[in-house]
Structure 1
Amino acid sequence: MRKNILVIGGTRYFGKLLVQRLLQAGHSVTIATRGLASDPFGDRISRIRVDRRNESAMRAAFANIPGYDIVYDQMCYNPIDAAISARVFGGKVKRYVMASAIDVYRPLLGSQDAPFAESAINVLAQPIDTRYPWHDPNLACESYVMGKLQAEAYFYRDGSLPVVTVRIGHVLAGAEDFTGRLAHYVDLVRSGAPLRYSNAAAASSFMSVQTVTDFLVWTGMQDFTGPVNAACDGALSAFDLYQRVGMALDEPVKAIPVKHAAEAGQLSPFDLPSQLMADTSRATQLGYRFGHSDHWLDNLIRQHDLAFV
């Protein structure tokens, strides 16, 4: 059935692929952005130019729009953003899907010996800080974790939107990956540099950009609410990922363990003090099965190797 869908964001990374998949499925798609980045969709989509951090602008932009079947919010970073959405879209959407990331929940989990389920995190217990300058661009990085947690807390306490929060494993992509995290390991291997690592057993959950997009599309078409973990099987530590890059490129690698912070210097991406693995049992019970990282990881590594050359 054709849906009327709003994507807040949608011009970069898996947000752009999400829009492509929704269009391929025959849905009517509108994107809401500040209009600073171009998109490749032409007249296949509608566009609303608005700063989602400005409540007055958001109210004006959506005042005469009756509603949406689904809203995908790729740009909700703090409780102020969540409050704006609740006030602008309350009673006007059938489904609200907020994208989050598993790194957000690490401070609440402590040292984990097993994958964490959604119920391991008591989001409702999180305080909401109304005095913090959430929209100060100079604080964007340091406020990301507590901002996402408090955004979830606001949505679930407020209750005016039928919210799903998708807690996404670390996303890896090809040449379009602006984070440079997988490219870091390819560059290390190709330059013959050793990996300095802190914990070879601290595995983390990963997803390909295609998998997370597929799951977001699927989630939008369901009727469950609440948090849901999203991750492929085949968790990897930084040490594992470095070894995997060496195998995929048929290059010898050398890894050096470090025991003290003073020895480590700047550690590689995904080098965590303990496991950060998502339990995806809820998604499985709801009817979605994630694949294994073996199905796509080597191909991504080789894509980055071409960029290195």
Structure 2
Amino acid sequence: MDILMIGGSGIISSEICNLAIEHGDSVSIFNRGRRKEEINSKANLIIGDMRNESVQSITDKIMSSYDVVMDFISYTPEQLRKTIDIFSSRCKQFVFVSSATVYSSDAPLPFKEDSKLENTKWKYAQDKVDCENFLASSELSCEYTIIRPYVTYGRTRIPLQIAPLEYYTIINRIKCHKPIIISGEHVECTLTNSKDFAIGAYGLLLNEKAYGEAFHITGDYRTTWKEVVLCLAEKINEDVEFINIPMQYLQVHKKYCGFDVSEILGDKGRNMIFDNSKIKRVVPAFSNFRRLEEALDDSLKYFEKKSHQRVNYKWDAEVDCFIANYIKRKGIIIDPIMLSELSYGETINDKDKKMYLEYRFPVNRMIGKVKRKICRG
């Protein structure tokens, strides 16, 4: 197969690319070229910008036709429209990567592919719903398939309920004995290893049973967000202290928490359980799923490398500030050092400490904003 991936350097797209190349397929990747280290060296990298380049500029860079085009980076109908205009006449199958967060909270569990599609609590998810509806109503010159990933994880990503993109931040919090926020101790989630996901997605390519269909590609591994953190802490031989903050509190105080509460409301604060019989039926190889307890070893090995140990101190500071306000309201006792820069010991440098202190205390945050405004003139 000749496969073009738009995006292609994320955790699931890179695994699909690797699997396709193992099967002898030709894979081209169209993206801005900012994460070349995550791209298989045997893939053909086409550097371009889907969002900002003209249609003509993009078409000048790509081949006249592909067997499959996979779109990993359309998040709104407007973005998807441009992609379809360029590629629907240049491929046999167009694969749109949606999200398994599209299902309504009113739909019964487990979610099935024909469950009600609506998620107004989280704009990202509702935009994906709108994209799916737009795709289904469009006149295309090719077949299309919709795939819906849920929470995927792998070497570079640890699945967590509340975390920044710099995943090592949470490992570092645990090592520094800082409290970990969760919202709902018993909220269930379904986790899928990116290598398993790739098997399901690859099996849908040029598969006639997938044409005009939608599939959520989720494994059988179910757990709670609290258990994920406990598993991670056990792997690094540390204890962990949790602060369980109710959804209602997050909604009222979301302006001050330092993370996207709408993602919790529309996704990770809900029980997310799926009936995956459809993808198993169409792709029999999608089975024998990896367990988190085993797969976390790959992630921890990745984060042993110093250059991968990036800590988001701004996020850490805002979360510590939020926790401090919450425990004060609720009368919960925590060692104040664990919510200060002192918790990092000698591991934090002066630049990062300055960043942390600016965002840890609201008055410092205000002073920082004023200083930056003055510097800009």
What are the Cα deviations for residues 43-71 of structure 1, in whole angstroms up to 9, with x where unaligned?
A: x44444443235523673378x4421111
What are the Cα deviations for residues 110-143 of structure 1, in whole angstroms up to 9, with x where unaligned?
A: 26662211111347xx9xxxxxxxxxxxxxxx85
Shift of 1:194: 2.8
Which of 31, 34, 37 matches 1:33?
A: 31
Could you say if the C-alpha distance between residues 89 and 302 of structure 1 is closer, same or farther in structure 2, counting changes exceeding 3 Å? closer
What are the Cα deviations for residues 178-230 of structure 1, in whole angstroms up to 9, with x where unaligned?
A: 96475344333222223333212211222222222232222214221321011
Alignment check: 8 A CA contact 2:180 2:241 kept: yes
Tell me, in whole angstroms, the C-alpha distance in 2 between the residues paired with 1:84 and 1:149: 17
Give 1:251's aligned amino acid.
E
Could you say if the C-alpha distance between residues 296 and 218 of structure 1 is closer, same or farther in structure 2, counting changes exceeding 3 Å? farther
Equivalent residue, structure 2, for 1:7 = 5
Is 1:167 aligned to 2:165, yes or no?
A: no
Which of 208, 212, 220 matches 1:233?
A: 220
Equivalent residue, structure 2, for 1:199 = 184
Which of 129, 136, 143 matches 1:156?
A: 136
Which of 258, 271, 288 matches 2:245?
A: 258
Which of 101, 105, 120 matches 2:99?
A: 101
Is 1:120 aligned to 2:115, yes or no?
A: yes
> What is the DSSP-based 3-state SS (H/G/I as helix, E as strand, rest coil) of the residue aligned with 1:201?
coil
Tell me, in whole angstroms, the C-alpha distance in 2 between the residues paired with 1:296 and 1:232: 15
Tell me, in whole angstroms, the C-alpha distance in 2 between the residues paired with 1:102 and 1:157: 20
Shift of 1:29: 1.9
Tell me, in whole angstroms, the C-alpha distance in 2 between the residues paired with 1:6 and 1:305: 30
Give 2:114's aligned amino acid.
S
Equivalent residue, structure 2, for 1:275 = 271
Which of 204, 213, 237 matches 1:219?
A: 204
Give 1:219's aligned amino acid.
L
Alignment check: 8 A CA contact 2:200 2:283 kept: no
Is 1:69 aligned to 2:67, yes or no?
A: yes
Tell me, in whole angstroms, the C-alpha distance in 1 between the residues paired with 2:24 and 2:149: 25
* Relative contact order, higher structure (CA 8 A, sep 6+): 1
Give 1:298's aligned amino acid.
L
TM-score normalised by length of structure 2: 0.64
Equivalent residue, structure 1, for 2:312 = none
Tell me, in whole angstroms, the C-alpha distance in 2 between the residues paired with 1:191 and 1:198: 21
Equivalent residue, structure 1, for 2:229 = 242
Identify which range, 182-191 or 166-175, moves more after superposition: 182-191
Could you say if the C-alpha distance between residues 150 and 229 of structure 1 is closer, same or farther in structure 2, counting changes exceeding 3 Å? same
Which of 93, 111, 124 matches 1:144?
A: 124
Alignment check: 8 A CA contact 2:71 2:95 kept: yes
Alignment check: 8 A CA contact 1:78 1:149 kept: no
Tell me, in whole angstroms, the C-alpha distance in 1 between the residues paired with 2:33 and 2:295: 33
User: Matched residues, percent identical?
Assistant: 14
Tell me, in whole angstroms, the C-alpha distance in 1 between the residues paired with 2:295 and 2:108: 24
TM-score normalised by length of structure 1: 0.76
Tell me, in whole angstroms, the C-alpha distance in 2 between the residues paired with 1:72 and 1:27: 14
The answer for unaligned runs of 5 or more in structure 2 is 310-346, 348-377
What are the Cα deviations for residues 242-286 of structure 1, in whole angstroms up to 9, with x where unaligned?
A: 122233333323333334516997498986332122321111121
Larger Rg: 2
Shift of 1:77: 1.7
Tell me, in whole angstroms, the C-alpha distance in 2 between the residues paired with 1:34 and 1:261: 40
Alignment check: 8 A CA contact 1:51 1:57 kept: no
The answer for unaligned runs of 5 or more in structure 1 is 127-141
CA RMSD of aligned residues (A): 3.5
Alignment check: 8 A CA contact 1:203 1:277 kept: yes
